[in-house]
Amino acid sequence: MNKVKVLTGLTLILLSFSCAKQDEGFAPSRLAESLVISPKTTAMSVNSEVVFSAIGGEGEYEYSIVKGNAQISPETGKLLALEPDEVVVRVTDGNGQYDDAVVLVNPPLNLIENVSYVIYGQSYSLQVSGGTAPFKYTILSGGGQIDLTGGVYTAPWFSGSALIQVEDSAGNIIIAEVISVAPVSSGESMLTLGYGDVHNFVGEGGVPPYSYSIIAGPGTIFQNQGTFIASNWESNSIVKITDSVGFSVEVKVKVTQFPN
């Protein structure tokens, strides 16, 4: 009987101690959920924004930059990209648990050429740099057709200018101008001259001014004027007429003693 009374008394003391601890605010512990930041990886261009979020963990979240040059709101997770870089974003919860995300910041969306030229009916691929792929291409004004995702523009069969909008996946926009022009020509594709004859080549079409050169055979030509002086013997030459953007045409010249 005495042993039973002692055990009962000890049990009551332990129970009383446990209740006292709970009354003092000692709640049962639990395992915290893993903290996860989103998105884990993303690509964007300079001056673009992205908002990070998090789930799991405990307490309030705080966002920070641990690598790279960017600005981020510690409370909202909104990031502003400042320059091309690889940026590491970290979210930390109230217990010090953290998770990281990687952001690839591309250079600003830009055009290799703001104004381009294309021959009637031919195709031209718009070249962009920077920005965040994929890109979308739209004709705002003018003739021709364009591949909405590939940026290949096909010119109409007449002279004119087309304005084309390029938009990247971050919403950045630039405008390109493509001008369709007639092919370069001189009015003849083949010419027959006598010994020592002089002929003035005159460029047409393309984008003036023109330059003139002999790419095969004898003779003399003035580069900026197009004045050609034939040889004094039987020969064959090729004269090339090139405009200011590189479009060209070739003319065959036959020199004979008795031209028709």
Would residue 233 count as lying in a domain?
yes
Token pair of 133 as six digits: 């792929």
Please provide the average confidence, as pLDDT, over all residues in the chain: 88
Would residue 28 count as lying in a domain?
no
Domain finish residue from 181, 204, 228:
181
Domain with 167 in it: what CATH number?
A: 2.60.40.60
Q: Please check the confidence at residue 29 and state whether its pLDDT lies above 70.
A: no
Report pLDDT for 147: 94
The 10s digit of each residue's pLDDT in 103-159 is 999 999 999 988 999 999 999 999 999 998 899 999 999 999 999 999 999 999 999
Token pair of 39 as six digits: 């998105």
Both 137 and 157 in one domain: the answer is: yes
Would residue 21 count as lying in a domain?
no
Both 50 and 83 in one domain: the answer is: yes
Would residue 23 count as lying in a domain?
no
Count other Cβ atoms within 10 Å, centred on residue 86.
10
Q: Please check the confidence at residue 75 and state whether its pLDDT lies above 70.
A: yes
Q: Please check the confidence at residue 55 and state whether its pLDDT lies above 70.
A: yes
Indicate the range of 40-49, 68-77, 154-163, 232-241 predicted with least confidence: 40-49
Would residue 161 count as lying in a domain?
yes
Torsion of the alpha carbons at 153, 155, 160 and 166, rounded to the nearest 10: -10
CA-nearest of 175, 174, 191, 169 to 241 is 191
Would residue 27 count as lying in a domain?
no
CA-nearest of 189, 196, 181, 180 to 240 is 189
Would residue 81 count as lying in a domain?
yes
Domain finish residue from 106, 127, 159:
106
Q: Please check the confidence at residue 224 and state whether its pLDDT lies above 50.
A: yes
Q: Say if CB 259 and CB 192 are below 8 A apart.
A: yes
Domain with 69 in it: what CATH number?
A: 2.60.40.10
Provide the whole-model pTM: 0.70
Both 72 and 51 in one domain: the answer is: yes
Both 210 and 240 in one domain: the answer is: yes
More confident residue, 112 or 27: 112
Would residue 6 count as lying in a domain?
no
Taking the mean position of all CA atoms in its chain, how far away is CA 227? 45
> What's the pLDDT band for 15 if we cut at 50, 70, 90?
very low
How many structural domains comprise the chain? 3
Q: Say if CB 90 and CB 26 are below 8 A apart.
A: no
Both 124 and 87 in one domain: the answer is: no
Domain finish residue from 106, 123, 148:
106
State what percent of residues in the chain have pLDDT above 90.
80
Report pLDDT for 24: 40
Report pLDDT for 19: 39
Report pLDDT for 171: 87
Both 204 and 149 in one domain: the answer is: no
> What's the pLDDT band for 18 if we cut at 50, 70, 90?
very low
Q: Which domain holds residue 173?
A: 110-181
Count other Cβ atoms within 10 Å, centred on residue 183.
15
The 10s digit of each residue's pLDDT in 175-204 is 999 999 999 999 899 999 999 999 999 999
Both 42 and 60 in one domain: the answer is: yes
Both 222 and 174 in one domain: the answer is: no
